[in-house]
Structure 1
Amino acid sequence: MKDETKKFTDRELDRIIEMAWEDRTPFDAITFQFGISEQETIEIMRREMKPSSFKMWRERVQGRKTKHSKLRDSNTKTFKSTRQKHITHNKISKR
Structure 2
Amino acid sequence: MRGRPARTYSVFALTDEAYALTTTDQANSWSGRRILYLQAFVHLYWVGGATTGALLGGLIPDTVTGLDFALTALFATGLLARHLLASRKASRA
Tell me the TM-score normalised to structure 1 length. 0.25
**Relative contact order, higher structure (CA 8 A, sep 6+):** 1
Relative to its length, the structure with more strand (as a share) is: 1
| Rg larger for | 2
Relative to its length, the structure with more helix (as a share) is: 2
Tell me the TM-score normalised to structure 2 length. 0.25
